[in-house]
Structure formats: C-alpha cells, structure tokens
Amino acid sequence: MHKVMYTNASQYVSNRGGIFYYVRRVPHDVRQHYASSRISFSLRTKSQRCALRTAGSVTQRLEDYWLGLRLQQMDIPAIHLVKAGDLEDDSPLLLDAVEMYLNTKGKTDKTFVRTARRNAAYVSKVLGNRPITSYATSEAAKFRDWCFSQGMSLNTVKRVFTAVRSIINLTMREYGIKGTNAFSGTYMPDKPDASPRQPIPNDILKAIQNQCRSTDDEMRWLVALISDTGMRLSEAVGLLTEDIKIGSDIPYVDIRPHPWRRLKTLGSRRKVPLVGCSLWAARQALNASTGDYLFPKYD
C-alpha cells in the first residue's frame, strides 16, 4: 500500500511497506542539473515523527541549494552601485591556505599531507585557485556534483568536503579572516552506494601465502605479515624491529604510533598475535633487517 501525506513538509513523505520515503519532483527551472525529474530516497525510519522531522530538514536544504542554482542564472542585483574595491578579496588563495594549514597543524605524515593537497587541488581544478572566502555555496554544490561524476562514493565525497572545510576554517581562524566557508553545510544526497568489503577466499589466501614463501623477499614478507594478522598496510610498513616480540610465550606484534607513521584511530593501537604465515614473515624480516626498521625499503 502506498500512502502519501499532504500537510506542510509531509507532502513529500510517503510510506512504502512500513518505511518512509522522501519523494519530490524537481522544479522545472533547475531540472537540467538532474538526471531524473524526480527525487526519491528512503528516510530509513519507520517512525512518522522522525520521517517528518528529517523531511523538513531535507526540504530546507534542497530549497537553499535550488536558490543557489537560480541565483547563478541571474544578474547580481544593484551591481552598478558596488565600489570596485569592495569586490576585492584579500584572503589567501586556496592552495596557499593548504600550506598554511599543514604548517599550523605541524603534520608531517605523508598520507595526511598528500590527501590535504589532493583534495584542495580537486577544488582548484573545478572552481579555480581563488581566495578562500570567494567561493559561493552554489559552487560548493557544483563541486560536490563533480566529485560524484568522477565515480566517488558518498563517503569519499564527505571526506573530501571535511578536509576542504577544515583547511578553510583553520586558515580563517588563524588569520582573523571574516567571511563564510562555502563548503560548510553542503547538502549530501542519500546515496547507498557503498559496497561492503569482501574477505579474500581461503583458497586464494593460501595460494598467496605459498607464493610468498616461494619467492621469499621483503615485499612478500610484507604481504605475508598482513595475511594472518589483518593489519593495515600502513601499519605494517611503519614497524620497527622492536615492535616484533618473537621471544614472548605467544609471539606478537605491538602496533603503536610512530612519528613517521600515525595510526588511523586511537583504538588502532593493539597487540596482535603472530601465527602461521605471519610468524614466518616476521622472522624472515627480522633476520634480514640491519637497522631499526623492519622494512627499511619503506622507511
């Protein structure tokens, strides 16, 4: 049974099989920005109260987004009354702001630095390398759509926006810059596009481990070490020889943060038993290492 309610924001809420959905036609004047003439997605709730509250929020954000699209198509009102000097924006350019951000944060982790620069470069490519307060919210929405068009998942796009937003926020605070951050509050559509990561089948894992033992070199030790511990690659390549506790009653690897390798989360610090192929790999790497690093090739 399909029941639609028509009071206030509830006119866009429908109930299908006990689950509430947001259903709305795209206005004709902004339809060229959409692949479909209708928006429809699950509100992921069976509660009418929660559905109406969420629908109200979604409706407001859509209206703001559509207003931005409409304003792009209009001439700026009273532009002839604005002094030329008032249009100047002396805030740092985005790519300069990235370097200020990294220097202020004092981040030296290669992954963090590379990611921050890459995300800012995305914005520069799509919207130009401009003063950080010169971007409009409608341009942030345009950038969001570009990210999706590149095949990025919803979670990836959210991470990109989080990074860009942090860069601009910190730069504005540190340098006392007044203005708004266009990348704050950008609407993110509900896109259930994340696919669960599947484990490697046991037969394939065994074949990989056998090949590692056969080839028996540093790269294969690294793969084998991960295979029976579940460590992240970044965790394994950042290990010191002293992180491997072979002499314990139960051999284990002490995964802890190092200045050259941060952990993904605080809870990532842990001790993982070394068994099977991972124990073999740890011994091989220890015997081959002549310095502090377990895998000196990646220090």
pLDDT tens for the chain, 299 residues: list them: 444 433 467 888 999 888 899 899 989 888 888 888 888 888 888 888 888 888 888 888 888 888 888 877 666 566 555 554 444 567 889 999 999 898 888 766 788 889 999 999 999 999 999 999 889 999 999 999 999 999 888 889 999 999 999 999 999 998 888 888 999 989 988 766 556 667 888 899 999 999 999 999 999 999 999 998 888 888 888 899 999 999 888 999 999 988 777 777 777 889 999 999 999 999 999 999 888 888 887 76
Residue 3: the pLDDT is 45
| Partners of 176 in beta bridges | none
- Domain tally for the chain? 3
Residue 78 belongs to some domain of the structure: no
Instruction: Classify residue 77: in a domain, yes or no.
Output: no
Tell me, yes or no, whether 189 lies in a domain. Answer: no
Same domain, 68 and 100: no
Quickly list DSSP for the chain: -EEE--SGGGGGEEEETTEEEEEEEPPGGGGGG-SSSEEEEE---S-HHHHHHHHHHHHHHHHHHHHHHHHHTSPPTTGGGS-GGGG---SPBHHHHHHHHHHHHT---HHHHHHHHHHHHHHHHHH-S-BTTS--HHHHHHHHHHHHHTT--HHHHHHHHHHHHHHHHHHHHHTT--S--TTSS--------PPPPPPPPHHHHHHHHHHHHHH-SHHHHHHHHHHTT---HHHHHT-BGGGEETTSSS-EEEE--BTTB--SSGGG-EEEE--HHHHHHHHHHHHH--SSBSSGGG-
Residues 283, 213 within the same domain: yes
Domain match, 108 and 67 both: no
Q: Is 165 within a domain? A: yes
Q: Are 65 and 109 in a shared domain?
A: no
What is the Cα–Cα distance from 278 to 275, expressed in whole angstroms? 6
In a domain, 114, yes or no: yes
Neighbours of 161 (CB within 10 A): 21
pLDDT of residue 44: 84
pLDDT of residue 261: 76
Q: For residue 142, what are its two tokens?
A: 């345009």
For residue 271, list its beta bridge partners: 254
Residues 212 and 289 in one domain: yes
The answer to whether the CB of 91 falls within 8 A of the CB of 134 is yes
Query: Do residue 210 and residue 294 come from a single domain?
Result: yes
Confirm whether 181 is domain-assigned: no
Dihedral in degrees, nearest 10, Cα atoms 218, 221, 223, 228: -170
Tokens of 51: 């559905």
Q: What was the pLDDT predicted at 7?
A: 43
- Report how far residue 164's alpha carbon sits from residue 127's, in angstroms, rounded to the nearest whole number: 13
Do 58 and 103 sit in the same domain of this protein? no
Q: Which of 129, 158, 174 is the C-terminal boundary of a domain? A: 174
Q: Tell me, yes or no, whether 225 and 269 share the same domain.
A: yes
Please check whether residues 223 and 278 belong to one and the same domain. Answer: yes
Last residue of a domain, one of 72, 98, 126: 72
Q: Please indicate, yes or no, if residue 83 is contained in any of the structural domains.
A: no
Last residue of a domain, one of 131, 154, 174: 174
What per-residue confidence (pLDDT) applies to 157? 93
Residue 37's pLDDT is 85
Report if residue 182 sits inside a domain: no
Looking at the structure, tell me whether residues 289 and 242 fall in a common domain.
Answer: yes
Q: Are residues 214 and 290 in the same domain?
A: yes
Residue bearing tokens 């051999």: 251
103 shares its domain with 163? yes
Which domain range does residue 49 map to? 2-72
Tokens of 226: 């991960």
